[in-house]
Amino acid sequence: MSQKRRLIVIFIAVIALCVMAYSMFLLRPTSWWIRGLRHQKQGEYERAIRCFARVIKTRPQYVEAYFYFRREKKGDQLYINSGGIAPCYYALGKYNEAKIYYGKALELYRTLGDRDKVFLIEGMLGQLSALE
Q: What is the CATH number of the domain that holds 115?
A: 1.25.40.10
Number of domain units in the chain: 1
Q: What per-residue confidence (pLDDT) applies to 15?
A: 72
Please report the pLDDT score of residue 20 as a whole number.
Answer: 62
Length reported for the chain = 132
Q: Which pLDDT tens digit goes with each residue over 18-31? A: 566 555 555 688 88
Is residue 106 within 8 Å of residue 118, measured between CB atoms?
A: yes
Return d(Cα 58, Cα 62) in angstroms, integer: 9
pLDDT digits 0-9 by tens, 98-107 = 999 999 999 9
- The region of weakest confidence among 39-43, 82-86, 127-131 is 127-131
Question: Which is nearest to 101 in space by CA: 60, 46, 131, 44?
Answer: 60
Q: For residue range 36-48, what is the model confidence (pLDDT) as tens digits?
A: 999 999 999 999 9
* pLDDT at residue 113 in the model: 94
Alpha-carbon separation of residue 34 from 4, 65, 88 (angstroms): 42, 9, 14
Q: Give φ, ψ of 2 to 5 degrees.
A: -75, 160
Q: Which domain holds residue 25?
A: 3-131
Backbone angles phi, psi at 131, to 5 degrees: -80, -15
- Segment 61-87 shows an average pLDDT of 86
